[in-house]
């Protein structure tokens, strides 16, 4: 995890499925690539949008943070 590249919030925001083809989300400062997930088609998953940090939104989700185990960690979110 320590060797993952760092990305800014602005760089993450561009990976929203609209501005760039990649669909990324962050959780607890780790960025995950959810591009191939059918649930993140067009950068939206229910009322959640990609290209942002979802840490504060997860408590409202019907699943736990284990959902991120399915996705590849591709970076760290720079503070």
From CA 41, how far away is CA 30, in angstroms rounded? 21
What residues does 4 pair with on adjacent strands? Answer: none
What pLDDT is recorded for position 78? 94
What pLDDT is recorded for position 29? 95
Q: Is residue 1 domain-resident?
A: no
What residues does 22 pair with on adjacent strands? Answer: none
**Domain that residue 34 falls in:** 6-77
Structural domains of the chain, count: 1
From CA 15, how far away is CA 50, in angstroms rounded? 7
Q: Is residue 63 domain-resident?
A: yes
CATH number at residue 64: 3.10.120.10
Q: What is the mean pLDDT of the chain?
A: 91
pTM score, two decimals? 0.90
> Model confidence over 17-43: pLDDT tens digits?
988 889 999 999 999 999 999 989 889
> What whole-number percentage of the chain has pLDDT above 70?
99
């Amino acid at each position: 995890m320590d060797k993952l590249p760092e990305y800014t919030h602005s760089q993450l925001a561009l990976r929203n499925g609209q501005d760039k083809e990649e669909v990324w989300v962050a959780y607890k400062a780790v960025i995950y690539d959810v591009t191939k997930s059918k649930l993140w088609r067009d950068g939206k998953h229910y009322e959640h949008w990609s290209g942002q940090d979802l840490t504060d939104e997860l408590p409202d989700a019907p699943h736990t943070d284990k959902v991120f185990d399915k996705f590849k960690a591709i970076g760290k979110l720079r503070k």
